[in-house]
Amino acid sequence: MISKIYSAIPHGFTGHIIEVEGDMNRGLPAFNIVGMANKTISEARERVRSALVNSGFSFPGYKVTINLAPADLNKDGSYLDLPIALSVLVLSKQLREEDIKNRLFVGELSLDGRLKPIKGIINIVEAARDAGITEIFLPDANLPQATLIKGPRIYGVNTLQSLFLHLKGQKLIDLPSTIKTPPESPNLSQDQTLLDHIRGQQLAKRAIEIAVAGHHNILISGPPGAGKTLLAKAAASLLPPLSSEEKISVTKIYSIANLSTAKVIASRPFRSPHHTSSPASIIGGGANATPGEISLAHSGILFLDELPEFPRPVLEALRQPLEDKTISVSRTNQKATYPADFMLIATMNPCPCGYLGDHSHECTCTNQQIQSYRKKLSGPLFDRIDIFVNVDKVDNAELIKKSSKNTHQHSVVKNTITGGILRQHLRYKKPGFFNSSLSSYQVTKLIKLTPAAEKLLADASEKLSLSARSYFKIIKVARTIADLEAVENSTHESNVIKETPIDTRHIAEALSFRSLT
């Protein structure tokens, strides 16, 4: 007798349908699983056998063979425990084939028959939906993430026995109503840093405002204690909420990485890997080509503190995802492409000791040491950063004042950024598309400069020997500056934006953020 049950597994950033085929014949009792199954799936034999017996079912005393098709696809994890158990029930005629027809089952079984949550559930549901499957049975704990995908009827299962009763029509499992679960923040502290918490640094605050509004990469240079890390954390609190599509994408990545299998990610990521992190942990990789920090920062911020301290291969590997907004991870048995559309905020000291140009501390570095320190960052990597800003230490007397003149109030800046982002979305008619996302062709087609602005940029380009990439980045930053200016001068909201060309003042400010001292 042959049985066939549909299941699915995550495969990179997508999912793959798996046919769990079962066969039972007379012979010495045996329970074999074939079809490129790794050790975790091979161990499902013991989990399934115990789960069936402890749930009140009988395990057949025959030779049972389970084939996982397609046989040439590597299969990893405990996703297939549930369909394997159901296949045994069908083979032993405790279930009918009609009970499982045109349905998809996935989940890990505990020894007592309870279902445990699995990673990559969004990939699995999307694969089932795309295959035309209309009913999906999965662990109850995975429901909040699974129900982000609309279309199929999704049932949350607690135990193997409750699923059996549902399939037999004896005690039905209710379809989930609106799932209410506390949102899970991937890496943001509840005590968020606001611009109002940072004394002084008005120029740096302006740079952060422009960077967040246009999704521009920014490098902040300054001595220790100048507030570089605080500025990066303040940028995180200026980001707008995730859209519905972004929630699915970000939650999907965190589920694949096994960092969140139950809750929905509702806050934009803020990832801050240490400079001792391995290349695979930042770029992605490992035996199963899992996503790295640059993908975990998707739709959020990747913060690299003390940028020159990161290994050169790691920094050079950032060049492609900074440009393409994706990363392809290839391993012997698997290749996966993950999204990596993040905003890079990096910091560095002006020299190895950190006090070059600091009036309160004497720099102890030689010119050779300073040059060697800065050469850790290649020209092509610098070329992919849109905004550079230098910060100085704030006087201690200023730090303890109860009030301080602040031209960048957090709430005002956040509202201006929100308006600037809205203008970009209306202009490009594509949510999540920013000025920084424009290609060079799109810049020439969509962005207009006044003749005076064109001349200023041409003169600066020749004097500073700007690369083509830097030339277009200045235009894109200037477009963001013009958008913020338009928001500040606007008296009402409208779904139609009045486009103004980039003028000399916008180009001049963009040029002021183009070099480090």
Domain residues for the domain of 343 are 195-427
Strand pairing report for 301-304 and 343-348: parallel
Longest dimension (CA), the chain: 89
Looking at the fold, whether 236 and 299 belong to one and the same domain comes out as yes
Looking at the fold, whether 24 and 150 belong to one and the same domain comes out as yes
Count of structural domains within the chain: 2
Cis peptide before 70 (omega within 30 of 0): yes
In a domain, 507, yes or no: no
| Partners of 31 in the β-ladder | 64
Which DSSP letter does residue 286 get?
A: T
In a domain, 86, yes or no: yes
Q: pLDDT (tens digit, 9 = 90+) per residue, 448-485? A: 999 999 999 999 999 999 999 999 999 999 999 999 99
Looking at the fold, whether 209 and 145 belong to one and the same domain comes out as no
| Angle value at C-alpha 370, between 367 and 375, nearest 5 degrees | 125
Q: Do the beta carbons of residue 511 and residue 471 sit within 8 Å?
A: no
Number of alpha helices (DSSP H) and beta strands (DSSP E) in the chain: 22, 18
d(CA 425, CA 207): 21
Looking at the fold, whether 132 and 202 belong to one and the same domain comes out as no
Contacts with 177 (C-beta within 8 Å, 6 or more apart), sequence order: none
Looking at the fold, whether 206 and 144 belong to one and the same domain comes out as no
Looking at the fold, whether 236 and 341 belong to one and the same domain comes out as yes
- Helix, strand or coil, per DSSP, at residue 300: coil
Q: Do the beta carbons of residue 443 and residue 472 sit within 8 Å?
A: yes
d(CA 348, CA 388): 11
Looking at the fold, whether 41 and 153 belong to one and the same domain comes out as yes
**Neighbour-count burial for 130-143, b at 16+ CB within 10 Å, e otherwise:** eeebebbbbbbbbb
d(CA 314, CA 81): 38
Looking at the fold, whether 163 and 200 belong to one and the same domain comes out as no
Q: Which of 373, 402, 427 is the last residue of a domain?
A: 427
| Angle value at C-alpha 237, between 269 and 420, nearest 5 degrees | 100
Looking at the fold, whether 120 and 260 belong to one and the same domain comes out as no
d(CA 59, CA 22): 14
d(CA 341, CA 257): 17
Q: Do the beta carbons of residue 357 and residue 363 sit within 8 Å?
A: yes
Tens digit of pLDDT at every position of the chain (517 positions): 789 999 999 999 999 999 999 999 988 889 999 988 788 888 899 999 999 999 999 999 999 999 999 988 888 889 999 999 999 999 999 999 999 999 999 999 999 999 999 999 999 999 999 999 999 999 999 999 999 999 999 999 999 999 999 999 999 999 887 555 555 555 544 456 788 888 888 899 999 999 999 999 999 999 998 889 999 999 999 999 999 999 999 999 999 999 998 899 999 999 999 999 988 899 998 877 899 999 999 999 999 999 999 999 999 999 999 999 999 988 777 789 999 999 999 999 999 999 988 888 889 999 999 999 988 899 999 999 999 999 988 877 677 776 556 667 888 999 999 999 999 999 999 888 999 999 999 999 999 999 999 999 999 999 999 999 999 999 999 999 999 999 988 754 556 667 788 999 999 999 999 887 6
Contacts with 250 (C-beta within 8 Å, 6 or more apart), sequence order: 186, 242, 265, 268, 269, 298, 299, 300
Q: Which of 427, 456, 473 is the last residue of a domain?
A: 427
| Residue 485: closest CA among 390, 417, 432 | 417
| Residue 226: closest CA among 40, 361, 369 | 361
Q: What is the DSSP string of 98-162?
A: HHHTTEEE--EEPTTSBEE--S-HHHHHHHHHHTT--EEEEEGGGHHHHTTS-SSEEEEESBHHH
Looking at the fold, whether 30 and 147 belong to one and the same domain comes out as yes
In a domain, 509, yes or no: no
Looking at the fold, whether 136 and 201 belong to one and the same domain comes out as no
pLDDT of residue 192: 66
pLDDT of residue 418: 94
In a domain, 101, yes or no: yes
In a domain, 172, yes or no: no
d(CA 198, CA 405): 11
- Helix, strand or coil, per DSSP, at residue 186: coil
In a domain, 25, yes or no: yes
In a domain, 461, yes or no: no
Structure tokens at 177: 């109503």
CATH classification at residue 250 = 3.40.50.300
Q: Which of 147, 167, 187 is the last residue of a domain?
A: 167
Contacts with 295 (C-beta within 8 Å, 6 or more apart), sequence order: 253, 257, 284, 327, 338, 339, 340
Looking at the fold, whether 162 and 228 belong to one and the same domain comes out as no
In a domain, 76, yes or no: yes
pLDDT of residue 180: 54
CATH classification at residue 46 = 3.30.230.10
Structure tokens at 217: 């990469």
